[in-house]
Amino acid sequence: MALQEKLEKFKKQQENMHSMLSSITQKPGSSKPLSTSKSVPYSATQLAGAKAPAQPVKFSNDTERLQIINSIRKGPVGSQIKRVIELLKDTRQAFTSDQINEATYVDVKSNKAVFESLTNNLKVNYDGRHFSYKAKHDLKDKNQLLHLIRKFPEGIAVIDLKDAYPTVMDDLQALKAEGKIWLLSNFDSQEDIAYPNDPRVVIKVDDDLKQLFRGIELPRDMLDIEKDLQKNGMKPATNTAKRRAAAEFQGISSKPKIKKKKHEISKRTKLTNAHLPHLFLGKPESENPNAGQS
């Protein structure tokens, strides 16, 4: 309320000054030529001490700034907290209440609701004087990031790492390119999961699991495979429907090629090498009744 009254008082002073300047320039006789009476020469000190004509004062910038400050401080507490947290996250520096006021126009010291909400925020660390950003994982560089991921062999969500430090996403892609981690998508949340790929770790797979894996019959059509992956909560790495649509648009046949069945040798098959039927039937020559006959 006090800020609004100061703003109104400032506008009135601005209007009074403009009216005063206009009245001075419009005095009667001001446009008459100067008198031809004997002029008194000015001394050098008088000329040096003479002030230059005052330039017109512009108040538009200050007025706009005061309006911005007023709108921010009268805004919801949540929007003010957001401005402060964005400042702390982008800079990763510690700020006092006065420094936050200068940078964001949020008066943390005078606004009790803002102060309490800020000190109780999970993303803000307050030591009694300075405010700083608090990430979920306190990391500084790529080496610390890799060390953390290796502590989670079952995987760690990338969303929990995004705010660790400003270049964390670039370091994740660099670790993936180096083959030190895997980044796999979770179909349910559409978020990536980071898994360690440490060659020093020996992974032993049970024989029962191997047999179970090899015993699963996969569909022949990739569309069916992608549907099964989606049903089990996994995101397919391919998009067969999109690829086939693009192929049809370009005039390329997208129908899967039908493999010709290989004709197996049966009793009706005429053998050219009749004296060597065991090579075709997979039987030893001693067990073949036709052996030795030509």
- Whole-number pLDDT of residue 264: 57
Poorest-pLDDT segment among 19-28, 45-54, 73-82, 234-243: 45-54
Q: Is the pLDDT of residue 208 over 70?
A: yes
Task: Specify the 3-state DSSP secondary structure of 173.
Answer: helix
Q: Is the pLDDT of residue 37 over 50?
A: no
Q: Is the pLDDT of residue 148 over 90?
A: yes
Mean pLDDT of the 259-288 span: 53
Of 17-26, 115-124, 193-202, 271-280, which one has max mean pLDDT?
A: 115-124
- Whole-number pLDDT of residue 249: 79
Residue 7 or residue 154, greater confidence: 154
Degrees, nearest 5: CA angle 292-293-294: 120
Mean pLDDT of the 162-166 span: 91
Q: Is the pLDDT of residue 158 over 80?
A: yes
Domain boundaries, the chain: 76-133, 142-196, 213-265
**pTM given for the model:** 0.46
Return the CATH architecture of domain 76-133. Answer: Orthogonal Bundle (1.10)
Encoding tokens for residue 159?
A: 């969303």
Q: Is the pLDDT of residue 146 over 90?
A: yes
State the DSSP H helix or E strand holding residue 152, giving kind and residue range, or none if neither: none
The pLDDT tens digits of the residues spanning 106-121 come to 999 899 999 999 999 9
- Whole-number pLDDT of residue 294: 43
User: Residue 150, Cα to own-chain centre: how many angstroms?
Assistant: 23
Q: Cα(125)–Cα(93) distance, rounded to whole angstroms?
A: 11
Q: Cα(4)–Cα(27) distance, rounded to whole angstroms?
A: 36
